Amino acid sequence: AQTVTQSQPEMSVQEAETVTLSCTYDTSESDYYLFWYKQPPSRQMILVIRQEAYKQQNATENRFSVNFQKAAKSFSLKISDSQLGDAAMYFCAYGGRRTYKYIFGTGTRLKVLA
């Protein structure tokens, strides 16, 4: 069975600084996707970034980038130039290409300090 682990329940970052959120996963599948979702206090989950496992290049979306280490089964999210609006719960999620569900981690609460 697939698992997703987020070992940092809470992180803090100063505005304009950089922070990295960690995620590890376990799977026996070779073809899968990894996601980072953001859940602000208003509750609606929003996709931040997506990585396809067969792509070597790390995904980037503006200030958000990932460090995908397939062999180590590690998928961290780096947020550069942190903004107050980045404060939220961040969930790492796994999706196998042939499965019909996501596996979510327990989340990391990110606080951004002014």
Site string for other proteins, 62-101 (x = CB under 8 A): -----------------------------x-xxxxxxxxx
Among 42, 56, 57, 62, binds other proteins (CB under 8 A): 42
The answer to the question of residue 47 lying near other proteins (CB under 8 A) is yes
Q: How far is the CB of 114 from other proteins (least distance, A)?
A: 25
| Residue 41 CB coordination number (10 Å) | 7
Torsion of CA 37, 40, 44, 50, to 10 degrees: -10
Separation of alpha carbons 67 and 57, rounded Å: 9
Q: How far is the CB of 6 from other proteins (least distance, A)?
A: 8
Among 105, 110, 112, 114, binds other proteins (CB under 8 A): 105
Taken in order 90, 73, 100, 49, the sign of the CA dihedral is positive
Separation of alpha carbons 11 and 80, rounded Å: 14
Binding site for other proteins (CB under 8 A): 4, 6, 32-33, 37, 42-47, 50, 52, 91, 93-107
